[in-house]
Amino acid sequence: MVQEGKIKPEYAETEQAAECRVEMFDSLDKDKPDQKRTEAMKKIFLKAAASPSSEWANPRPQQLLRICRTLNAEELIILGTAYRLFKTRTREEVEKSSRGADQWPDYIAGASQNLVSAGIVDFYEDDLVKKKLIGDRDHSDRSGVRLAHQCRLTNLAIELCKYLQE
């Protein structure tokens, strides 16, 4: 990648680059293969490599790589779809469509361009809540959701998605 000009030669020697490489290689070596996750991790690494040298000591890329490593393709699609809706729709539209726990899977599935179904969104909901990437259900009957105004995305999820989108 250095020879192709994708990574600055000086960056390849930094501690950040070494930590990111280890995380990526560990993922390839130890995790179940997942092309979408690998692509997301590669994006994080390349963005870090292209950043100004003053950012090379920042631990953020390694932190985001570790989080990304815990995600599968479906979870990345769900988060990416929610982020796109959060960024392109008005706050009122997002909140109205995300307010009910039973509405949110349909909202995400419909906006995902048939990449995930409502059932798949529902299946991965608890895992995304446990990973602190979407807000949990709310109310005693669990009919509402937290963070409806952000399409349920937590600040961490927004940070991750923003990093992957830029």
User: Which residues contact residue 23 at a Cβ distance below 8 angstroms, ignoring those fewer than 6 apart?
Assistant: 41, 62, 65, 66, 69
- What's the whole-model pTM score? 0.85
- Mean pLDDT, the chain, integer: 90
- Give the distance, in angstroms, between the CA of residue 154 and the centroid of all CA atoms in the same chain: 11
Q: What is the pLDDT of residues 98-144, one digit of tens each?
A: 778 889 999 999 999 999 999 999 999 999 999 999 999 988 888 88
In angstroms, the CA 36 to CA 25 distance is: 15
Q: Which residue has the higher pLDDT, 99 or 89?
A: 89
Residue 45: pLDDT above 90? no
CB atoms within 10 A of CB 35: 8
